[in-house]
């Protein structure tokens, strides 16, 4: 039914159930062992291993020459990474909270994204920017944003959002080997989530969506942590006799249009879930891709469920209203399937 490549964490040995943080760490360590040009830079990445402890232990193995603590200078060190990438290195930049990408925006959008094109293909910028996303952690408006749509909007940047430890490891290794600037978004609430990761080496190609659950009545396209919201909803829907298919694009750029369209043609009903703001965001783009590709097969308009169009509030009861939940997905799905 599924190749090990596609279905990551189902039914495999419990001996290699590791956390998302550990999967990311393994990917970095393996790539740094394989290629001496790979290095990490960012704030508190060395001894502290980042505030999320994702990089814990890497400085011990690779030393402070390759796991480099920077000043709080996002524009500066991202720019340095762009220059280092253009001249032969393969930097992995750590931007602690995705919200701080704004400080490095010129370096990413005007420099990294365009150097290859503007030079007529002469310069390459093989770098990865690892950063975080996600709300509901009570971190308020400047530490909770999910800004991936901005980067997916800029030609020249690739955008990756893993939803399982297996995907995170395989995709990060691919990102490091890619010759383009890649934005790699990790959800803060998922670092401790565990999943199966095989002991042997593997990579996951960009542009291949993963069907996380098969179903015939409804397609739920979801990204990052929303994949788990979708899976929970699908579970509840199954009890009501509605079989939802859950698809994780895994990379927004490049995007696996075919898998999304094919599923929409099969089920005729689609919900798209994302933790970025709903307006002008990823849900809009995916809805339009699906509508263009599956218009005559759709039984209803594609439904978008993004984050509420408000800055993320601190107060817990307010914050919890801003992101899609499995309960709300179930309600929406029932209505979509005429079962409300």
Ligand X SMILES: Cc1ncc(C[n+]2csc(CCOP(=O)(O)OP(=O)(O)O)c2C)c(N)n1
Which residue ranges make up the site for another protein (CB under 8 A)?
A: 43-44, 46-48, 51, 69-73, 75-76, 99-100, 103, 137-143, 308-311, 313-318, 321-322
Beta carbon of residue 95, minimum distance to another protein (angstroms, whole number): 12
Distance in angstroms (rounded) separating the CA atoms of residues 64 and 42 = 12
Instruction: Indicate the residue among 99 and 248 with the shorter CB distance to ligand X.
Output: 99
> What tokens were used for 233?
């909803």
Which of 7, 116, 143, 148 is an active site residue? Answer: 143
Residue 179 binds which entry of another protein, ligand X, none, CB below 5-8 Å type-dependent: none
Beta carbon of residue 42, minimum distance to ligand X (angstroms, whole number): 9
Distance in angstroms (rounded) separating the CA atoms of residues 198 and 144 = 32
DSSP H or E run through 168:
helix 165-177
Quick check: bond before 254 cis, omega within 30? yes
Helix, strand, coil tally for the chain in percent (to 5): 40, 20, 40
Beta carbon of residue 192, minimum distance to ligand X (angstroms, whole number): 20
By CB under 6 A, what part of segment 103-122 binds ligand X? 103
Eight-class DSSP state of 276: E
Instruction: Indicate the residue among 9 and 102 with the shorter CB distance to another protein.
Output: 102
Q: What angle do CA 113, 26, 23 make, to 5 degrees?
A: 85
DSSP H or E run through 67:
strand 67-69
By CB under 6 A, what part of segment 13-72 binds ligand X? 43, 72
| Known catalytic membership, residue 7 | no
Beta carbon of residue 99, minimum distance to another protein (angstroms, whole number): 7
Instruction: Indicate the residue among 62 and 100 with the shorter CB distance to ligand X.
Output: 100
Determine how many CB atoms are found less than 10 A away from the CB of residue 136: 17
Q: Are 192 and 19 in contact (CB under 8 A)?
A: yes
Residue numbers of the site for ligand X (CB under 6 A)? 43, 72, 74, 96, 100, 103
Active site residues: 143
């Amino acid at each position: 039914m599924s190749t090990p490549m596609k279905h990551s964490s189902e039914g495999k040995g419990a001996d290699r159930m590791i956390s998302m943080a550990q999967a990311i760490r393994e990917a970095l360590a393996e790539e740094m062992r394989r290629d001496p040009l790979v290095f990490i830079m960012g704030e508190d990445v060395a001894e502290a291993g980042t505030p999320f402890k994702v990089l814990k232990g890497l400085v011990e193995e690779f030393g402070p020459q390759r796991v480099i603590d920077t000043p709080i200078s996002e524009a500066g060190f991202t720019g340095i990474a762009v220059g280092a990438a253009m001249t032969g290195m393969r930097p992995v930049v750590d931007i602690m909270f995705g919200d701080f990408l704004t400080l490095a925006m010129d370096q990413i959008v005007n420099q990294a994204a365009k150097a290859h094109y503007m030079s007529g293909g002469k310069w390459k910028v093989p770098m990865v920017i690892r950063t975080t996303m996600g709300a509901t952690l009570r971190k308020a408006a400047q530490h909770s944003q999910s800004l991936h749509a901005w980067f997916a909007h800029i030609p020249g940047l690739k955008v990756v959002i893993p939803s399982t430890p297996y995907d995170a490891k395989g995709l990060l290794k691919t990102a490091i080997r890619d010759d383009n600037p890649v934005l790699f978004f990790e959800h803060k609430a998922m670092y401790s989530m565990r999943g199966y990761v095989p002991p042997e080496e593997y990579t996951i190609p960009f542009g291949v969506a993963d069907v996380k659950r098969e179903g015939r009545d409804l397609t739920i396209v979801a990204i990052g942590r929303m994949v788990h919201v979708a899976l929970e909803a699908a579970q509840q829907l199954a009890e009501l006799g509605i079989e939802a298919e859950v698809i994780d694009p895994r990379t927004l750029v490049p995007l696996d249009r075919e898998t999304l369209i094919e599923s929409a043609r099969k089920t005729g009903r689609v919900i798209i879930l994302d933790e970025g703001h709903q307006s002008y965001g990823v849900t809009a783009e995916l809805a339009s891709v699906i509508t263009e590709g599956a218009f005559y097969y759709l039984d209803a308009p594609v439904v978008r469920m993004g984050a509420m169009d408000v800055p993320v509030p601190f107060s817990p009861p307010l914050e919890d209203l801003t992101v899609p939940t499995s309960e709300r997905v179930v309600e929406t799905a029932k209505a979509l399937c005429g079962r409300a």
